[in-house]
Chain A
Amino acid sequence: MNNRLRITATLHCDLLIIGSGGAGLRCAANVLDKRPETRVIALTKNAHPQKSHTSTAQGGLAAVDPGDPEDKTIYHMFDTWKGSDCTADQDVIKKICDSSWEQILWLENRGMHFSRNPKGKLSKRTFGGHTLNFGETSAYRAVFEADRTGKGMMDTCWGESLKRNISFLNQSIGTELLFKAGRCVGCLVFKLKEGEFIRIFSGATVLATGGSGQVFKITTNCRQNTGDGPAVALQAGLPMMDPEAIQFHPTGMIGPGILASETLRSVGGILRNKDMEPFMAHYAPRMKELAPRDLVARAIASEIRKKRGILSSDHKVEHVWIDLRHLPDAVHEQQIPEVSGFFKKFLNLDPKSELCPVHPSSHYQMGGISTNAFGEAQDHLQRRVPGLFAIGECAAASLHGFNRLGTNSLLELITMGKFVGNKVLAYLDHLSKEPTATVDFISFDRFSQYLEARGKNKIGQIRIDMQELMTENVGVFRTEEGLSKTIDALRELKDRADQTALGCKSLRMNQELLQRWELDNLLTVSMAISQAALNRRESRGAHFRDDFPERDDAFNHHTIVIMGSFNKVEIKKREIDMSIFKAKDQHFEKFDFIERAY
C-alpha cells in the first residue's frame, strides 16, 4: 500500500451529486429551491461546472407547447417510441413528455436566453424524427438558444445552484461508492488539485457523470467523457443497461470529430458523395437528410464502404461532404453562425463557397446505469438500491431505447434532474440518522497499484489502441467475428494497462494518474459494450449487426450487464415497459412493436 495515500477529511451532507452538468445541477437547484437548508455537495472532474459537456449541446430542447394548435404530446411520445426502435420504456416517455413544457418555462423564467420570434415568444425549429400526426409532417417542436442551447441551460442550472448555497468540489472524482447494509451512504472522493482522498457521507447520492464517448477514436464528446459513472457502478456490482446502444452522430467534422449539428441539415444542408450525388434519397426517400441519426450515420458509412467516400490527406480518414453553399448568407450568419464558423476555425475552409467534410462520430450513449422511471438506481433483479440515484447520459431509465431523437437529451437532463430531486427529498424525509460508521473501501489498493506498477507500456498508446479497436469493430457496423476479437483484445489491453509505470509519481494534479484511472473506466465500459453487442444477435436502432441486419422480436427487451470482474461478464434481460400500449387509450396501437421506417 502506498503510504502517501490517506483520508484527509470526512464530510457529511444530505445530498452528494457526482457530476455537475445539466442533470446534476437541475437536480441540485430543485432540491435547494424546495428545501434551502439541504446540505448539497456537487463534484465535477472538470475545472468548473460551466465546462461540462452539457455546455456544448447546440441544437435545441424538444417540448410540446400547450398553446400550439397543431402539436400534441402524444405525437412527441410516439416519435420518441418509434425513434427508440421500440426499446424505450413507455412510463418514462410519458413522464418526460408530459412535463416537458413546464421545464422549458422553468428555464425561461430563470433567465435562459431562448431565441425569440418577432412577437417576443419562444422560436421553434424542426429536428429529425419529430413529426405531427404520427409521422405525417415535420413538427416545429424544439425551442433553442441560437446554436448554444446546452450552454444556456448549463449557465441557468449552474446559476440557480450557485444562488442557493451549494458547495462545489471542482476537479474531484468519485472513485468508489460506499455502502452500508445495502444502502449507498456516500462516496470516496479524490481531489485532483490537492492529491488527497476525502470521504463524503451523504443521505442520498446521485451519479450524473455524463457519457463515455472517449471509448471511440472519433467522438463529439468532451475529453473528460470517459464513462466514469457506469464504471464505478459496475465495480460496485450494479448493472449497466443497454450499453451496446451507442449513437453515432452522422456529421462529425473530420479530424477531431467535432459535432456539425443536425441544424445544418434542418436548415437545408445536403449530403453528397464523391460523385456529388445527394445520396440520402436512396436511404430515406421521404425524410432524406432529416431522417433519424442512425439511419443517416449508416447511409454515410455505406457510401464510404461502397468506395464513394473522399479521403482526407491530412487526417487519413474517409468522409462525405455536407453542402451548405446554396444556403442564403442570412442562414449562414443568423441560424448557423457557430457551426458554420467551426469549419472555418478548425479546417480553414469557407462553407459559403466550399464543401465541408463530415463522417460519423460517436455522440451519445443511450444506455447507462440501470434506473427506474424516477431515476432510482436498481440492482440486476430490478430492486431499488436505497440512497443511490442516476441521471443524465450516465443513466438509462430509459427514454431513448436504442436510438435517441435529437433534442431529447437536453429534455431528459432537465426533467429527470427535477424528478430525481423530488425523489431525493422524499428519501431524505424517511432517513433515520446520519451514517458515521466506518465503511470498507478498495480505492487505496487501486491507486497504489497505479503508482507502483512497473512496465514500459504507455497509457496514451493503450488508449489509442483501444479507441481504434472499438471504432473498427464496435462502431456503426458490428459482426460476431469483430466483436469476439475485440473482447480478447480488450483483455490484453487491460493486462498492458496493469503493467504501466507512471512517469509522474506525485499525487497533486497528476494528470497521468487521472488518465490511468480513466483508462480503467474506459476499458470497463468498452468490455460491457462489446459483450452486450455480441449477445444481441439482431439489429435495433443504433446497434447494427452486419450478420443480423433485421430487428428480431426475440430481443424485445433491454440488456442488463453485470461484471463480477473484468473477465467475468454476465448478461441478463429487463422487460420493456409498455404501459401506454397496455392502457388501451386512444392511439394505443401506435405504441406496439411497430416498424421503424421513415
Chain B
Amino acid sequence: MASHYHITLKIRRYDPENRRSWIQNYHLEAGRILRFVDLFRKINNEQDPTFSWNSSCEHGQCGTCSVKINGKPLLACELLVENAVQYFNTPVFNVEPLEVAPVVRDLVFDLTKAYKRIDQVKPYVISPANPPSDQDEYSISPNEMKQYINATRCINCFCCSSACISSHRNFLGPNAMLASMIRVLDPREKEKAQRLKILYGHRGVYRCHSSRACSFVCPKEIDVAHFVALAKAGRFNDPNNE
C-alpha cells in the first residue's frame, strides 16, 4: 500500500450571505493514515481558511463531523485516507453536508434543528420508578440490560437519518427510535403508556420501510434496523413478554 496519496476533494460549499452554492475542488498530498478531518484542517491551514466544517472530539465519540463522502454518510474523523481510497476505489471524493437539516455554511448543517426529532421522543426517564431505597441503586441484571444496551451507544450523528429512505418528512428517524426504545425497555421508567404512544405514533416505527440503510451506515455498528424490526413486530408492547 502507498505511503502517500494524491487526493482530490470536491467539496459542496454554501455561502449564506448570498445563498450561493457551488462545488470547489481541493488537491492535497496526504499521508496514508490521515483522517478526513485532518484533510479539512490541512485545507484551512494551507489553502483556504474560509472553508467551514464541523467537528468536536474527532475520535468517533460525539457524532459532530458527519458528512457524505461519495454519497455515503459517515464520520469524517473515522475515515482514513488509505481506507477511503480502497473502499471507494478512487482518490477523488465528493464531500457534501448531511441533508437532515438546513445547511448553515459549507459542511456545517443545523444540528439544533436535527435534534428537534430526538427531543420529541423525550430522551430521558419521564417518570422514574422508586429505587429500592434512598441509599441504593436499582438492580438490573446484565441479561435485562442486554436487550437495549447496544442502543445506548448511539451518538446522534444522524448518519442513519441521512441514509434512511423514509426519514426526511414524517418519520422521526432511526436514531430517535433508538432513544425511544431504550426507555421502553428500561425497568426504571414507569411511564410506559406515553412511551409506547410515541414509539407507535404517527411519526413512529411504522414509517420505517425496512431498507436497513440505518444499520449499514451506523458508525457505531449498532444494528438499528434490528431494533426497529423488533418494535414493528410488537415485541415492546409489553417488555416482560418475551
The residues of A with any CB-CB pair to B shorter than 8 Å are: 46-48, 50-53, 55-56, 66-67, 104-105, 108-111, 113-114, 116-122, 148, 151-152, 155-156, 158-160, 162-163, 168, 170-171, 193, 222-224, 255-256, 258-259, 313-315, 342, 345-348, 458-461, 464, 502-504, 506, 508-512, 515
Contact = CB atoms under 8 A, between A and B. Distances in A.
A494 B58 CA distance: 27
B65 to A, nearest CB: 9
A577 B105 CA distance: 50
Interface stretch (B44-52, B201-209, B224-232): B44-52
A511 B138 CA distance: 45
B56 A223 contact: yes
Nearest to A107: B137
A111 B127 CA distance: 10
B25 interface: no
Contacts of A313: 3
B2 interface: no
Contacts of B183: 111
6 contacts: A51-B111, A56-B57, A66-B135, A152-B152, A502-B49, A509-B108
Contact of A258 (B15, B16, B59, B136): B59
Contacts of A509: 16, 52, 104-105, 108
A193 B113 CA distance: 12
B219 to A, nearest CB: 9
A314 B33 contact: yes
Contacts of B60: 342, 345
A485 to B, nearest CB: 24
Interface residues of B, number: 68
The 9 closest A-B pairs by CB, nearest first: A159-B124, A460-B45, A120-B139, A47-B111, A509-B105, A504-B50, A511-B52, A111-B125, A258-B59
Given A108-B137, A458-B49, A160 B124 contact: yes
Interface of B: 3, 15-17, 31-33, 35, 38, 41, 44-46, 48-64, 78, 80, 82-83, 104-105, 108, 110-112, 115, 119, 122-126, 128, 131, 135-142, 144-145, 149, 152-153, 155-156, 183, 186, 188-189
B136 A105 contact: yes
Contacts of B105: 508-511
B43 to A, nearest CB: 10
Contact of B64 (A47, A117, A156, A163): A47
A101 to B, nearest CB: 8
Contact of B125 (A110, A116, A512, A515): A110
Given A113-B149, A460-B49, A508-B16, A47 B59 contact: no
B228 to A, nearest CB: 20
Contacts of B145: 113, 116
Which of A51, A155, A163, A459: most chain B CB closer than 10 A? A51
B190 to A, nearest CB: 12
B49 A504 contact: yes
